[in-house]
Structure 1
């Protein structure tokens, strides 16, 4: 998980899927950008331009704890 709780992780996922400006939860230095910026394939994968962390939302969703 990239955040400190399940609720915050769900909030992060919702922001990414809604394509709202989201600051990287790891480094807090930059807004996340589409990983596939040129292809504009989907809004499922994001990357922080500052620290290079990649956020794959499908993986994040499957790794969420049950409670």
Structure 2
């Protein structure tokens, strides 16, 4: 997980999927941008321009703890 709790992780994913701006939970500096902006391959992957961390929301969803 990229955040400290399941609820925070879900809130981050919802924010990204709604197209709202989200600050990188790892570095706290960059605003996440689509990873594949030009190719438009996937609307589920984001990257932090500051630290380079990649957020793949489908993978994040699969790795969420149940409780």
Fold shared, TM-score > 0.5 on shorter chain: yes
Provide TM-score, normalisation by structure 1.
0.95
**After the TM superposition, which parts of structure 1 deviate over 6 Å for at least 4 consecutive aligned residues?**
none
Aligned alpha-carbon RMSD (Å): 0.7
Between the two proteins, the alignment pairs up a number of residues equal to 67
SS of structure 2 residue aligned to 1:46: strand
Query: For 1:11 and 1:66, how far apart are their aligned partners in 2?
Result: 15
For residues 9-66 of structure 1, what are the alpha-carbon distances to aligned partners after superposition, in whole Å with 9 as ceiling and x for unaligned? Answer: 0000100111100000000111000000111233200000000000000000000000
- In structure 2, the gaps of 5 or more residues are none
